[in-house]
Copies of this chain bind each other. A is one copy, B any other.
Amino acid sequence: MVEIIVAPNAGFCFGVKRAVKLAEESVSLIEEGRRVYTLGPIIHNPQEVGRLKKLGVNPVGEEEPSKGDAIIIRSHGIPPERERELKEKGLKVIDATCPYVKAVHEAVCQLAKEGYFIVLVGEKNHPEVIGTLGYLKECNGEGIVVETLEDLNEALKHERVGVVSQTTQSEKFFKEVVGELALWVKELKVINTICNATSVRQEDVYNLAPQVDVMIIIGGKNSGNTRRLYNISKSLNPNSYHIETAEELQPEWFEGVKKVGITAGASTPSWIIEQVKGKIEEICERQSCYS
């Protein structure tokens, strides 16, 4: 029997997986007679949003929720005043905010209470950043969003500066901002809130590729993060293949094979990973993979 190992951090990150799971579980509320909405598309993947629609979970917009309906806050999070508004409307709020994003909300308030002026490294219009700024306001903190080094000027007027990051920021830019601030302000406190989903996905490949006979990497052919996973895998195991769907799997790849590793880029839903896993099992039932 062939052994198939799926990399622990394959595909969606922890926070997105969790949000999708909460959306799936909310189906029980539909059975109770409520309608269930998500506040914006729960993930940036139309197939996945389509799949949830079929279960009855729709993004707000086409229809507006009313008293008694459930609403899911997606992994990015929202400002606390927005959450209160939803509750005041009589909606049942299901909070799928990523715990790593909640950690940013806590970090800005901790730093604000300690008297630091906040520098939030991130994109000014990103929903996660807008949510975090809401929390900063809630705890009477002051601060700015830094998207380019020029944005830092405002922070240099302050003697004590606290730095956090949008969870998906580039480590390179974060490092530049912190280094620059360290030279100009009197006291700097940094809580690194960058989520390491990308780097742990790569670490998985470093661990998995050398110990399997074949390595399958799933993800868009034009996806940068997937191609990087493939290149790492190929350098460690020549029997590495980059596919987009289960249909691309070739039976001859698995002849005489004992162990198969699977990973997937950030935009690959777990059901596609499951399809690939199922297809490999099917191939190996028809032919003797491990002869």
Q: In chain A, residues 10-32, which have Cβ atoms closer than 8 Å to a Cβ of chain B?
A: none
- How many residues of A are in contact with the other chain, CB < 8 A? 20
Query: How far is B186's CA from A186's CA once the two chains are assembled, in angstroms?
Result: 21
Question: Of B175, B183, B189, which one neighbours A171 at CB under 8 angstroms?
Answer: B183
A190 proximity list for chain B (CB < 8 A): 182, 187-190
A191 to chain B, nearest CB (A): 5
Whether A185 sits at the interface, judged by CB under 8 Å, is yes
Q: In chain A, residues 128-179, which have Cβ atoms closer than 8 Å to a Cβ of chain B?
A: 163, 171, 174-176, 178-179
A180 proximity list for chain B (CB < 8 A): 175
Query: How far is B174's CA from A106's CA once the two chains are assembled, in angstroms?
Result: 28
Q: In chain A, residues 185-214, which have Cβ atoms closer than 8 Å to a Cβ of chain B?
A: 185-192, 194
Question: Of B179, B183, B186, B191, which one neighbours A191 at CB under 8 angstroms?
Answer: B186
- B187 touching A183 by the CB < 8 A rule? no
Query: How far is B183's CA from A176's CA once the two chains are assembled, in angstroms?
Result: 11
- B192 touching A186 by the CB < 8 A rule? yes
- B185 touching A175 by the CB < 8 A rule? no
- Nearest chain B residue, comparing its CB with the CB of A110: B187
Chain A residues packing against B (C-beta within 8 Å): 163, 171, 174-176, 178-180, 182-192, 194
Some 16 contacts from A to B, beta carbons below 8 A apart, are A163-B182, A175-B182, A175-B183, A176-B179, A178-B188, A182-B190, A182-B192, A183-B192, A185-B192, A186-B192, A187-B189, A187-B190, A188-B188, A188-B191, A188-B192, A189-B190
